[in-house]
Amino acid sequence: MAENTITDRDNVFFEAGIKLGALYHQFTGSPVSLRTVESLETAIAQSISVQPCVEKITVSIDRDMVRSKLNDEFGYCELEGRMLNVQIDAKYGSVMAHVSMEFNKELDYPLMKIDKIY
Amino acid sequence: MAENTITDRDNVFFEAGIKLGALYHQFTGSPVSLRTVESLETAIAQSISVQPCVEKITVSIDRDMVRSKLNDEFGYCELEGRMLNVQIDAKYGSVMAHVSMEFNKELDYPLMKIDKIY
Amino acid sequence: MAENTITDRDNVFFEAGIKLGALYHQFTGSPVSLRTVESLETAIAQSISVQPCVEKITVSIDRDMVRSKLNDEFGYCELEGRMLNVQIDAKYGSVMAHVSMEFNKELDYPLMKIDKIY
Amino acid sequence: MAENTITDRDNVFFEAGIKLGALYHQFTGSPVSLRTVESLETAIAQSISVQPCVEKITVSIDRDMVRSKLNDEFGYCELEGRMLNVQIDAKYGSVMAHVSMEFNKELDYPLMKIDKIY
């Protein structure tokens, strides 16, 4: 196969990236408290699960970070990218990949990365 | 009281408006299907409920509109403002108000409006 | 006039609140650097200016906050509510009001407030 | 090289996908009119250009679709995914790829796709 032919492998990573970018920019900024964090996790996972190529998705929001960011006066904060731990299995054709987003302390950045292909 | 003094009544409408604008622009665009619509309703209502001045909020998404917008190929659609029916009781000081957002067919517009003060 | 009749004054604050809530939740989270901050200010102001009741809007993003939030590795950050200074003149019927959003250090909160009516 | 080793090619498509997903869910929903459409195009392109791996990006919004969606009463509409034509050159290590988003009439869907690798 020619090197410049687009493969299922190329597409599975492209599609997986789309999902992480979509999730991040759709839902960060949502008002959240410790009381409401679970419903937000559920809705985010279910929302992204309807999109093409998503085999499985889990979303977890770091309660400790939420707690530390709660405004003293108002008792809530906003969902930030660094609070999110997202694990996605994506499939395109016969190719399956696992990608994730998790806060990387060293980089001080909510890092999206490819974990494996199988 | 001078006419240009800002009152609790002024503030309750200001705060209620903030909530409707926030809700709309935070959550429209979310991928949704008939299977996931309930978790999205719950998360939206809970998310906005943590903000200042919100006494009560109910959010309902029109299933018929979701059904009619589902993409034939991919089986999902995006949450649109016109799909939302939102009812909010807001309170500021001693003043309580009810505001809502609901699709207005005549205007072809997801209309936000003040319903009453009490 | 009965106290529970909804007035232009009520509506001008409701509409002004909608705009601030919309602006905040539409645009925070946008990737931004010192090179691109001006185009984002312009687009935010112009976008909200098309909505009903907006007579005038100015949007300014705090360059010092952007600079201090730039990621060391990647050289950009996200627009946060606390970076925004927004001034809006809203009009409903014969009533004009000025509202604003500005970071309040004491509350550690991007405070939206009514400034005056005239 | 083992088939399950993650390559620059894998990463360039993953990163390109992230950008398209981010752009879509950050900016759709923005109020827009024919007067303000250009500033929104500029801001979207500049905003995404600051993210990792973006070599070049162009964003164009379909004026005819905007015109056809303008609300009769209020004279504006919201940015929809189908209005967007986005072209991105992404680079990871030594690999460069071109991806795009464009409305696909047949699918009635704003299709994101890989165009080529070089």
Q: Is residue A102 part of a domain?
A: yes
Q: Is residue A14 part of a domain?
A: yes
- The residues with which C25 forms a beta bridge, in sequence order, are none
User: What beta strand segments (E) does chain D contain?
Assistant: 31-32, 54-61, 77-78, 84-92, 95-104, 109-117
The mean pLDDT value for A50-71 works out to 97
Distance in Å, alpha carbon of D115 to nearest chain C alpha carbon: 25
ipTM over 0.90: yes
Q: Report yes or no: D16 and A16 within 8 Å, Cβ to Cβ.
A: no
Q: Is residue B2 part of a domain?
A: no
With a CB cutoff of 8 Å and minimum separation 6, the contacts of D20 are A17, A18, A21, D86, D88, D99, D101, D112
**CATH number of the domain encompassing residue A24:** 3.30.1300.20
- Estimate the crossing angle of helix B8-27 against helix B37-49, to 10 degrees: 150
Report d(CA C3, CA C95) in Å as an integer.
Answer: 18
* Structural domain count, chain C: 1
Any chain A CB within 8 A of the CB of B32?
yes
Nearest to B19 among C6, C11, C21 (CB): C21
pLDDT at B3: 80
| pLDDT tens digit sequence for B21-34 | 999 999 999 999 99
pLDDT at A39: 98
Q: Is residue D57 part of a domain?
A: yes
| pLDDT tens digit sequence for B62-82 | 999 999 999 988 899 999 999
Nearest to D42 among C26, C43, C49 (CB): C43
pLDDT at B44: 98
Q: Give the pLDDT band (50/70/90) at residue D51.
A: very high
Q: Is residue C28 part of a domain?
A: yes
pLDDT at C113: 98
Say what percent of chain C tops pLDDT 90. Answer: 92
**pLDDT score of D82 more than 60:** yes
The mean pLDDT value for D22-27 works out to 98
Reported residue count of chain D is: 118
Q: Quick check: D26 and A25 CB within 8 A? A: yes
Report d(CA A21, CA D15) in Å as an integer.
Answer: 9
Distance in Å, alpha carbon of A27 to nearest chain B alpha carbon: 7
**pLDDT score of C64 more than 90:** yes
pLDDT at D1: 56
Q: Report yes or no: A97 and A12 within 8 Å, Cβ to Cβ.
A: yes
The mean pLDDT value for C56-82 works out to 96
pLDDT at D73: 87
| Residue A41 marked ligand-binding | no
| Residue C3 marked ligand-binding | no
Interface test with chain B among C9, C25, C28, C84, by most B beta carbons within 10 Å: C25
| pLDDT tens digit sequence for A72-99 | 888 999 999 999 999 999 999 999 999 9
pLDDT at A1: 57
Taking CB atoms and an 8 Å cutoff, what residues of chain B touch C19? Answer: 17, 21
Q: Is residue C1 part of a domain?
A: no
Residue range of the domain that includes D92: 8-117
User: What beta strand segments (E) does chain A contain?
Assistant: 31-32, 54-61, 77-78, 84-92, 95-104, 109-117
pLDDT at D93: 97
Q: Is residue C3 part of a domain?
A: no
Q: Is residue B1 part of a domain?
A: no
DSSP SS3 for A55: strand
Report d(CA D68, CA D7) in Å as an integer.
Answer: 44
Taking CB atoms and an 8 Å cutoff, what residues of chain C touch B26? Answer: 25
With a CB cutoff of 8 Å and minimum separation 6, the contacts of C73 are A107, A108, A109
Report d(CA D110, CA A65) in Å as an integer.
Answer: 36
Average pLDDT over chain A, rounded to whole? 96
Q: Give the pLDDT band (50/70/90) at residue B1.
A: low
